[in-house]
Structure 1
Amino acid sequence: MTAQGSKLWRLSYRFDGKQQTLALGAYPAVSLADARRQRDGVKALLAKGINPAQHAKLERIAKQTSNAVTFKVVAEEYLRKIAKEGRAETTRNKKEWLLGLAMPDIGSRPISEITAAEILVPLRKIEDKGNYETARRVRSTIGQIFRYAISTARTDNDPTFGLKGALTAPVVSHRAAITNQRAFGGLLRAIWAYEGMPETRIALQLMALLYPRPGELRQAEWSEIDFEKAIWTIPASRMKMRREHRKPLSPHVIAILEELRMLTDQGKLLFPAVTSPKRTMSENTMNSALRRMGFSQDEATSHGFRASASSLLNESGKWSADAIEAELAHVGADEVRRAYHRALYWEERVKMADWWAQETHRLRETLG
């Protein structure tokens, strides 16, 4: 009993020839049964040659460390890691935004103690707003944080694994694309006659002629364009498959780029935002232009030019499927073979780029 009248459980024992005392807690918060269980635990440690007092100290330190390693701490460390690895800024920003949706519910929790039920709370909030695809992406991104925590010895389990079947599957909607020759010719005529911002018209013309992913074009820099060799080299950081991708430029494309250079070569970006030369053209700029031309979102999108080109190039029967896939920067199941052969198809892709420029000209001039 202490001077204040509190009753404390204490256990005396000998370790390494020395008398030591271990505090087991205060009565009645720690019952007799609890004290006996702790005593049995101490005896078991002594039998293994472990000092119970040192063991208790290490457990307290481990608990404090665990409490300090919150989900937010690990998530921020992970984001710094992928930044050092050269992941694209847009990718990092997207991951940060997705993780931010879960932070209010699990950010301050020790990552080693978070359960699947806790993760489900923010996911259900997102689903309740009808954002099913976002909920799935948040779950996937949270899982990346847990797997990073496992690899750095901060936790032993990824609780998101058991949630794969718990979320509502979103209805898949394919990006609209025109694959009929006559209709595609009409789209091309509308683009070439577009009377809005000339930079937007040129962006759509290049989408039709080069069919990259919209983000690859919007973020393009003049340093990537080799006018002498007629090559556009897209850095790995901006490619979906994280591989540098080269695209041959037909004379028609070079002429369009020369026109664009008169407008925007004061800065590093081909398509700077109207509000700031340091920012890229908005993601919605090209799609909004298509809407103003009279094409609904169910008819045409900026991303749809990839499907249009793929369909019409394959339909022509003039080019190998592998050359078309290489030009689209697709990497299928046989990834190694495609990566190896990409260079071998370069000559065919150069010819294909010239033919496609002439074909788009023919379609907009003769079909309606």
Structure 2
Amino acid sequence: MALSNAAVRAARPKPRAYKIFDERGLFLFVKPNGLRSWRLRYRYDGREKLLCLGQWPDLQLVEARASAEAARGLVAMGVDPGLQKRKSTAVQICTFESAARAWHAQSLEHWTERHAQDVLDSLVRDVFPALGAMPIGAIGAPAVLQVLRDVESRGSIETARRIRQRISAVFCFAIAEGLVDQDPAAVVTRALRPTPISRRQPALTDIDEARALLAACDRAGGPPIVRLASRFLALTAVRMGTLLGARWDEFEQLDGDAPLWRIPAERMKLKKARKADPANDHIVPLCPEAVAMLHQVRRVQLRCSEGNQRVFPLPPSAIGALYKRAGYAGRHVPHGWRAAFSTVMNERFPLERAAIDLALAHAPADMSKVERAYNRAEMLDQRRSLFARWGELLIT
């Protein structure tokens, strides 16, 4: 059944991208951020291909159908419309900024929204002011190096290296499009300042000291929700961003025998392709102490008339500030609970290493690439036992 203009207008974003089909391979692709684009699925040289025709509402339904028909005509004449479009785009590209934006747009399919925005922001902030308006073929290694040294001069050594990689990727894109024949960013690596030796984030890896920190937090005062969030973070050993994004509908069987926290894959630290697969949701078995924390949070929210679906509606700095008030500045940070859990549990239960790694959403270190691809055993019972023992050790 063919699409109507009303159906296109009514298409609303959902948690995951989806398609609404028109006819003969044409469909509307709707992203979670609300972006809607027209795409055409076609076959060329025996292979199925995909052509992006344009975004709605800039390209209306009738125009999308006309563009799709024109593309089918090219296929009938033995011309690949996707290749034809790339050649047309390449002719229009001349400056570094236009090449960079074309590369960025082409890469969006493989990136998360957050990473895509980070890449673009870094180019707009640090590269476009100096190189953006220059013809891409006129840019040499000295000009690239000067941009990177300006970034280094403010102490951002690792940022400079990431920006070099992005500039190099733009030139590789331009080489493939026939715009230039060399990558000046590839030769400046050795001229950059060496990467500083990374320091581990401070973490208490002795269980007695960890318990002392929680007790000090209780004495430090402040909003109860912050102390509860700190304890729940300690008991689950998740990442800080995962904790702050937690929603009540992610928790299951809180009053049952096997309570758990099902963290959607889209909120996990994964590549974009894996984020879209619910099979990659991360499950955290909840120990009795963690469940008790959640019940306390519920009572606090009810007293505050909190209607937010977020469990811990806090600023990112709240728990770190609590540790500073408790006198643990420089000794422990929120992310340090992951190191604490791993160290303490590996010392006490060395035979449970694989389950400990899975509890932290890590692939076991001794697992081969093939096993990582095919072995989806979650060792849920072992992990539940580990978190139960961790809760008993931590909360006395």
Fold shared by both chains (TM-score > 0.5): yes
Amino-acid identity (%): 30
Which runs of structure 2 are paired with 1:1-368 in the superposition (5 Å)? 68-80=93-105, 84-85=109-110, 87-89=112-114, 91-99=115-123, 100-149=125-174, 157-168=182-193, 169-228=195-254, 230-242=259-271, 243=274, 244=280, 245-264=282-301, 266-272=307-313, 281-297=314-330, 299-317=331-349, 319-331=351-363, 332=365, 334-338=368-372, 340-362=374-396
Q: Is the 8 A contact 1:323 1:348 kept in 2?
A: yes
Change (3 A) 1:204 1:159: farther
1:232-254 CA distances to partner (integer Å, 9 max, x unpaired)? 22233332233432211222212
Change (3 A) 1:198 1:101: farther
- Shift of the alpha carbon at 1:134? 2.1
For the residues of structure 2 that align with 1:64 and 1:342, how far apart are their CA atoms? 43
For the residues of structure 1 that align with 2:229 and 2:103, how far apart are their CA atoms? 35
For the residues of structure 2 that align with 1:86 and 1:65, how far apart are their CA atoms? 22
Query: What one-letter code is carried by the residue in structure 2 that aligns with 1:97?
Result: D
Aligned-residue CA RMSD in angstroms?
3.0
Change (3 A) 1:340 1:135: same
For the residues of structure 2 that align with 1:109 and 1:67, how far apart are their CA atoms? 14
Instruction: Return 5+ residue gaps in structure 1 as ranges.
Output: 1-61, 273-280, 363-368
Change (3 A) 1:112 1:216: farther
- Shift of the alpha carbon at 1:315? 0.6
Tell me, what secondary structure is at the counterpart of 1:355? helix
Tell me the TM-score normalized by structure 2. 0.64
Change (3 A) 1:256 1:141: farther
- Shift of the alpha carbon at 1:256? 1.2
Q: Is the 8 A contact 2:93 2:99 kept in 1?
A: no
Instruction: Return 5+ residue gaps in structure 2 as ranges.
Output: 1-86, 275-279
Q: Is the 8 A contact 1:71 1:109 kept in 2?
A: yes
- Shift of the alpha carbon at 1:87? 0.8
For the residues of structure 2 that align with 1:207 and 1:98, how far apart are their CA atoms? 31
Change (3 A) 1:150 1:355: farther
Q: Which residue of 1 aligns with 2:64?
A: none
Looking at CA atoms only, which structure, 1 or 2, has the larger radius of gyration? 1
Q: Which residue of 2 aligns with 1:8?
A: none
Tell me, what secondary structure is at the counterpart of 1:188? helix
- Shift of the alpha carbon at 1:106? 1.6
- Shift of the alpha carbon at 1:310? 0.5
Tell me, what secondary structure is at the counterpart of 1:320? helix
Q: Which residue of 2 aligns with 1:6?
A: none
Query: What one-letter code is carried by the residue in structure 2 that aligns with 1:241?
Result: L
Q: Which has the higher contact order (CA 8 A, sep 6+)?
A: 1
- Shift of the alpha carbon at 1:300? 0.7
For the residues of structure 2 that align with 1:79 and 1:271, how far apart are their CA atoms? 34
